């Protein structure tokens, strides 16, 4: 990801995150992408999704479609 992309907004962690460190963080820097990373490895790899794909994932996760950990 480019430096411009990196500097547009800050990373956010879900308010539902527990204290065990098993969290993901997201950043919505522009209308066209949602960035996702592992909060335990902030310098590690990042995934990038369209807003539509992210919304579909979040909606499915909210209904329990992926089961519980």
Average pLDDT for residues 49-65, to the nearest whole number? Answer: 92
Looking at residue 69, its pLDDT comes to: 59
Total of domains in the chain: 1
- What is the residue range of 31's domain? 3-11+21-59
If one counts every other C-beta atom within 10 angstroms of the C-beta of residue 34, the result is 20
Rounded mean pLDDT, 16-45: 83
Asked whether residue 55 is domain-assigned, the answer is: yes
Q: Is residue 43 part of a domain?
A: yes
Residue 66 lies in a domain: no
- Cα Rg of the chain (Å, integer): 13
The percentage of residues in the chain with a pLDDT greater than 70, rounded to a whole number, is 74
pLDDT on residue 4: 42
Residue 45 lies inside a defined structural domain of this protein: yes
Phi, psi angles (nearest 5°) of residue 28: -115, 85
For residue 51, being part of any structural domain is answered with: yes
Q: Is 64 inside any structural domain? A: no
In whole angstroms, what is the distance from residue 10 CA to residue 17 CA? 17
Q: Provide the mean pLDDT of the chain.
A: 81
Q: What are the structure tokens assigned to 27, written together?
A: 């950043």
Model confidence at 46: pLDDT above 90: yes
* DSSP E strand stretches across 1-69: 12-13, 24-30, 33-38, 46-49
Flag whether 7 is in a domain. yes
- With respect to residue 41, please indicate whether it lies within any of the assigned structural domains: yes
């Amino acid at each position: 990801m480019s430096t411009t992309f990196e500097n547009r907004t800050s990373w956010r962690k879900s308010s539902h995150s527990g204290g065990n460190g098993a969290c993901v963080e997201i950043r919505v820097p522009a209308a066209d992408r949602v960035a996702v990373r592992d909060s335990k490895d902030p310098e590690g790899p990042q995934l990038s999704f369209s807003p539509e794909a992210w919304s579909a994932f979040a909606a499915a996760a909210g209904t329990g479609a992926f089961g519980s950990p």
